[in-house]
Amino acid sequence: MNFFKSLFTPFARVSNRNYTFLIIIDCAIALLLWQVFAAGGLIPTPGRIAGSVLRIVSTDDFFDNLFSSLTLTLKGMFYSIIIALVICYLSVVPIFTPVARFIIKCRYLTLTGLIFLFTLLTSNGHNLKMSLLIFGIVPFFVTSLLSIIDAINEQEYELCKTLKMNNWQTLLEVVIIGKLDQVLEVMRQNFAIAWMMITMVEGLNMSEGGLGTLLIKSNKYIDLGTVFAILVLIFAMGVFFDLLLAKLRTWFFPYTKLQIRK
Amino acid sequence: MTYKKEEIILQVENVNLKYDRQILRDINFNVHNITRPDMQQGQVISLIGRSGIGKTQLFKILAGLLQPDTGGVKIDSDLHPVKAGEVGVVPQNYILFNHRSILDNLKLGLRGSSEKRSDKEKEDLLNEYAEKFALKEHLKKYPMQLSGGQRQRVSILQQILTGNRFILLDEPFSGLDPVIKDKVLELLVTISTLNELNTLVIISHDIENSMAISDTAFILANQEGKEGATITETIDLMQLGLCWDPEIKKNKAFQDLVAQMKFRM
């Protein structure tokens, strides 16, 4: 009885076992509702999607497409995080502050309007996709990272001063080393944006394949079973990377476990 | 009780601070080097005032972290203007680097020390102090794994390891249970006697505990009709024969003095 009461009480603590149980129940209900309401309609049923997933996974070019999307995303993420980190770390130096603040505002720019410009500036399709991906991700990375820097307690800087550190040592200790764990968290949160954008940029240049290309082709032929199957695979990969990055954070920075409410 | 007041080692002169209103007004006081025969006697000063009076601002000014509108703070026997890093600071919430273990936090304190030491000497010193401060078993832990009292000890030790002779403590008794408070009092007395020039400045609203280990207390309060807090009273506990006594809290004269102070504030 207490368990059911706790499910509806704010801030109530639920054990890991019960939480897993809750997830399974929620998923089962969602699938059941989907199966009931989608039967005979436009949206394919879970059973049909599962069949499509198995079919896609067993095709010859699926792993090539998956590999192509993953490589592009990871490369884009890597370059984006490096660029974003440099911008954010330099943002505490007054001369670079306006640049960083301007980049934050760039997230309101739509990529569609810039495709032509990027096409002119890049030499091939791969570079076009990569540059669009980086341009799309960096403002979001910078926004998240700068909010972390802005939230640093003034007393941490004061502590550095009392420990006789100069301004560069303070930057290293408080901003760079001190917030390294949160960089992984930002990566985790923004991986979703990168993963979402990949399908869009892959549609611009289909020669390299990728899940985005598969998705666009299936959409063209209104093959909704395949479309949903690809979406399920994209979703599953996203969830996998979400878990992986969360795990990496606690492996590399064990103290983060102490700060998270369980 | 034989003692001598030697040279001035901390001088606060005409400190004024104003934001949208006057916070601190004409703060003036001196701290002398106190000597006692056959022992190393440091100084323990209390700055006592009610909450919200401007104690934390004065704390930052003393630490060189905040520049007053007028006046300034001078330290050491040459009375040079204080710079950030020359005065150790133990803030009320015992701020530490949460991404570093206790040992690494302490090493950062040692890194700030101007004394040249070999790695072996550093390790020995860290172990010696960790033992003294009852932190030996916590060295591998992270700050978030320690209690408030333990974090406070780490914070104090970190500042001691920098080699600073002046250490400011902001509300060091706040939020501690009575048993821990007594241990903190003992610890502060120990620190004050580690070196002749060690000077602890306690900023607190806890009159009894602050005065129990102080040689001088300054009362920070507002005066009627005037904006901004100032030093309204100086209590020389050495002259009154009410200091350096571990049992001082049981002394009737001390209890009366504390009661009077509470009434006047």
Question: B87 CB near a chain A CB, below 8 Å?
Answer: yes
Q: Smallest Cα–Cα separation from A176: which of A92, A77, A80, A97? A: A92
C-alpha distance from A237 to closest chain B C-alpha (Å): 31
Q: Check B162 against A158: CB less than 8 A apart.
A: no
- Interface predicted TM-score of the whole assembly (ipTM), two decimals: 0.86
Verify that A21 and A92 share a domain, yes or no.
no
Verify that A16 and A93 share a domain, yes or no.
no
Verify that A17 and A117 share a domain, yes or no.
no
- pLDDT for res A15: 86
Q: How many domains does chain A have?
A: 2
Disruptive mutation site among A163, A167, A260 for chain B (greatest number of B CBs within 10 Å): A163
Instruction: Give B2's pLDDT tier (boundaries 50, 70, 90).
Output: confident
Residue of chain B minimizing CA distance to A156: B95
Once rounded to an integer, what is the mean pLDDT over residues B130-149? 91
Across the interface, of B95, B99, B162, the residue whose CB is closest to A181 is B99
d(CA A233, CA A224) in angstroms, rounded, equals 14
Verify that A185 and A227 share a domain, yes or no.
yes
pLDDT tens digits, one per residue of A60-86:
888 998 999 999 999 999 999 999 999
Q: Tell me if A237 is assigned to some domain.
A: yes
Q: Tell me if A130 is assigned to some domain.
A: yes
Verify that A74 and A160 share a domain, yes or no.
yes
**Length of chain A (residues):** 262
Question: B237 CB near a chain A CB, below 8 Å?
Answer: no
pLDDT, averaged across chain B: 91
Q: What percent of chain B stands above pLDDT 70?
A: 100
d(CA B182, CA B110) in angstroms, rounded, equals 27
Residue for token pair 């990871």: A74
Question: B142 CB near a chain A CB, below 8 Å?
Answer: yes
Total CB pairs under 8 A between chain A and B = 64
Q: Check A155 against B63: CB less than 8 A apart.
A: no
Across the interface, of B60, B108, B142, the residue whose CB is closest to A163 is B108
DSSP summary character for residue B36 = B
Q: Check B91 against A155: CB less than 8 A apart.
A: yes
More confident residue, A28 or A38: A28
Verify that A192 and A85 share a domain, yes or no.
yes
Verify that A129 and A233 share a domain, yes or no.
yes
Q: Which of residues 45-74 of B touch A (CB under 8 A)?
A: 60, 63-65
Q: Which of residues 18-37 of B touch A (CB under 8 A)?
A: none
- pLDDT for res B154: 94
Q: Check B99 against A153: CB less than 8 A apart.
A: no
* Phi and psi, residue A61, nearest 5°: -90, 5
Verify that A177 and A251 share a domain, yes or no.
yes
Instruction: Give A261's pLDDT tier (boundaries 50, 70, 90).
Output: low
Q: Tell me if A15 is assigned to some domain.
A: yes
Q: Check B144 against A258: CB less than 8 A apart.
A: yes
pLDDT tens digits, one per residue of A139-151:
999 999 999 999 9
d(CA A38, CA A44) in angstroms, rounded, equals 6
Res B51 pLDDT > 90:
no
Once rounded to an integer, what is the mean pLDDT over residues A136-165? 93
Instruction: Give A197's pLDDT tier (boundaries 50, 70, 90).
Output: confident
Q: Check A163 against B91: CB less than 8 A apart.
A: no
Q: Check B159 against A258: CB less than 8 A apart.
A: no
Residue of chain A minimizing CA distance to B91: A155
Q: Which CATH number goes with the domain that contains A152? A: 1.10.3720.10
Verify that A113 and A161 share a domain, yes or no.
yes
Verify that A7 and A99 share a domain, yes or no.
no
Instruction: Give A259's pLDDT tier (boundaries 50, 70, 90).
Output: low
Question: B175 CB near a chain A CB, below 8 Å?
Answer: no
- pLDDT for res A107: 86
- pLDDT for res A1: 64
What domains are defined for chain B? 4-86+164-264 (3.40.50.300), 95-163 (no CATH)
Instruction: Give B233's pLDDT tier (boundaries 50, 70, 90).
Output: very high
Residue of chain A minimizing CA distance to B167: A162
Q: Check B85 against A253: CB less than 8 A apart.
A: no
- pLDDT for res A173: 96
Report chain B residues whose CB lies below 8 A from the CB of A258. 142, 144-145
Once rounded to an integer, what is the mean pLDDT over residues A73-101? 94
Q: Which of A33-42, A126-135, B13-22, B220-229 has the lowest mean pLDDT?
A: A33-42
Q: Tell me if A212 is assigned to some domain.
A: yes
- pLDDT for res A122: 86
Dihedral sign, Cα of residue A25, residue A31, residue A36, residue A37: positive
- pLDDT for res B64: 94
Q: What percent of chain A stands above pLDDT 70?
A: 98
Disruptive mutation site among B99, B107, B147, B169 for chain A (greatest number of A CBs within 10 Å): B99
pLDDT tens digits, one per residue of B66-106:
999 999 999 998 999 999 999 999 988 889 999 999 999 99
3-state secondary structure A182-222: HHHHHHHHHHHHHHHHHHHHHCCCCCCCCHHHHHHHHHHCC
Q: Which of A205-219, B8-22, B26-40 has the lowest mean pLDDT?
A: A205-219
Q: Tell me if A43 is assigned to some domain.
A: no
Q: Which of A201-210, B26-35, B199-208 has the lowest mean pLDDT?
A: A201-210
Across the interface, of B89, B99, B145, the residue whose CB is closest to A158 is B89
Which residues of chain A approach chain B closer than 8 Å at the C-beta? 153, 155-156, 158-159, 161-165, 173-174, 177-178, 180-181, 253-255, 258-259
Instruction: Give B38's pLDDT tier (boundaries 50, 70, 90).
Output: confident
Q: Check B112 against A164: CB less than 8 A apart.
A: yes
- pLDDT for res B99: 94
Report chain B residues whose CB lies below 8 A from the CB of A158. 60, 63, 65, 84, 89, 91, 95
- pLDDT for res B215: 95
Q: Check A258 against B93: CB less than 8 A apart.
A: no
- pLDDT for res A154: 92
Question: Helices (DSSP H) in A91-114: which residue ranges?
Answer: 97-105
Residue of chain B minimizing CA distance to A163: B112
Verify that A11 and A90 share a domain, yes or no.
no
Beta strands in B183-263 (DSSP E): 199-204, 216-222, 229-236
- CB-CB contact of A168 with A146 (8 Å): no
d(CA B170, CA B156) in angstroms, rounded, equals 11
Q: Tell me if A52 is assigned to some domain.
A: no
- pLDDT for res B119: 87
- pLDDT for res A182: 92
What range defines the domain where residue A14 resides?
A: 2-31
d(CA B264, CA B233) in angstroms, rounded, equals 10
Q: Tell me if A164 is assigned to some domain.
A: yes
Report chain B residues whose CB lies below 8 A from the CB of A172. none
Residue for token pair 């601002």: B57
Across the interface, of A156, A164, A174, the residue whose CB is closest to B85 is A164
- pLDDT for res A183: 92
Verify that A25 and A71 share a domain, yes or no.
no
pLDDT, averaged across chain A: 88
DSSP summary character for residue A172 = I
- pLDDT for res A167: 94
Q: What percent of chain B stands above pLDDT 90?
A: 66
